[in-house]
């Protein structure tokens, strides 16, 4: 069975600074995807960034980037130039398979990020 672990229940960062959220996972699958989702108070889950396991290059999306260490089964999220709007719960998630949407997402327990002015 696959598991996703987020060991930081809460994090805080000052505006314009950089913060890194940690995530580790366990799987015996060779094909899979990893995701970071953001959940603001509106409850809607918003996809921040995704990584295909077969790609060695770390994914980046504007201020968001990941450090994907496949051998260590680690998938951390780095937020650069933090903004007040980044305040939210962040969830790391895993999905096995070759295609997204053909199997369920398994989520970690989340990290609550607070960005201070």
Partner 1 sequence: GAGVSQSPSNKVTEKGKDVELRCDPISGHTALYWYRQSLGQGLEFLIYFQGNSAPDKSGLPSDRFSAERTGGSVSTLTIQRTQQEDSAVYLCASSSGQGQSPLHFGNGTRLTVT
* Binding characters for partner 1, 26-45, by CB under 8 A (x = yes): ---------x------xxxx
**Residue 94 contacts partner 1 per CB under 8 A:** no
Which is closer to partner 1, CB of 18 or CB of 21? Answer: 21
Q: How far is CA 77 from CA 12, 80, 91, 96, 101, in A?
A: 14, 10, 10, 20, 22
**Residue 105 contacts partner 1 per CB under 8 A:** yes
- CA–CA separation, 98 vs 91, rounded Å? 21
**Residue 62 contacts partner 1 per CB under 8 A:** no
């Amino acid at each position: 069975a696959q598991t996703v672990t987020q060991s930081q229940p809460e994090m805080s960062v000052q505006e314009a600074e950089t913060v890194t959220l940690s995530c580790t996972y366990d799987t015996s699958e060779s094909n899979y995807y990893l995701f970071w989702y953001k959940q603001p108070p509106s409850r809607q889950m918003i996809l921040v960034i995704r990584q295909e396991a077969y790609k060695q290059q770390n994914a980046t999306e504007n201020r968001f980037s990941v450090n994907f260490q496949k051998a260590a089964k680690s998938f951390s999220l780095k937020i650069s130039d933090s903004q007040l709007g980044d305040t939210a719960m962040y969830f790391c998630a895993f999905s096995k398979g070759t295609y997204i949407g053909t199997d369920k997402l398994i989520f970690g327990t989340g990290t609550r990020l607070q960005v201070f002015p």
